[in-house]
Amino acid sequence: MPRPLVADRRDRILDATESLTLARGFDAVTVADIATASGIGKGAVYLEFAGKREILDALLRRAVVRTDARVREEIGDDPRLSTAYRATARAVLADPLLTAAFLDDDGVLGQHADAVSDARYRARHLGVIDRVRDLQHRGLVVSTIEPEHLALALSSATIGLLSAARLVGPIGTRELEGAIDAIGTMAAAFETD
């Protein structure tokens, strides 16, 4: 007789993975560790996810959804570009997993960001282009800059922060917050009064 399905199995796996990843780093966590911490059999973990990297992908996507919800709650649906950027910074800093990703805290996420080969960064970048176009259409961003150029500058700055700690040395929460605020200040230069 088959075992009954655990109703919240996926969330339990993700919750356990987040705790373990923040405590030990992604590379040190095994699927067996995740199964034990979530109280779910290892085979059941593989019923939900193809492997460990897919679990982390789902975990990061969940963190992004949480962050997007925080930003919408804070600024609503009609923010200025600089306000949206700064609110996103506060939401990222409020999420331990995303903060770890940006600070590269002792390799919490390992080389995950570098190993992503799907189109997720491209999709987010295209969303920024659409947002800039919309703001230009509503007269909130100057029309003298191509939306693609401004979006690429903002996306590059944000994605660059993911590798900054590895490339320039350790950075802390204060430095990350200041860098994101500085990007928000640069974005404000493209807003109309």
Domains and CATH numbers, the chain: 1-49 (1.10.10.60), 64-188 (1.10.357)
- Ramachandran quadrant class, 139 (left: phi over 0; alpha: psi -120 to 50; beta: rest): left
- Which burial class, exposed, middle or buried, applies to 126 when counting CB atoms under 10 A from its CB (0-12, 13-18, 19+)? middle
pLDDT of residue 185 exceeding 70: yes
pLDDT of residue 4 exceeding 70: no
Instruction: List pLDDT tens digits, range 122-156.
Output: 888 898 899 899 999 999 999 999 999 999 998 88
Q: Return the ∠ at Cα 68 (arms to 192 and 146), rounded to 5°.
A: 35
Write down the mean pLDDT value for the chain: 85
Cα(87)–Cα(71) distance, rounded to whole angstroms? 6
pLDDT at 1: 46
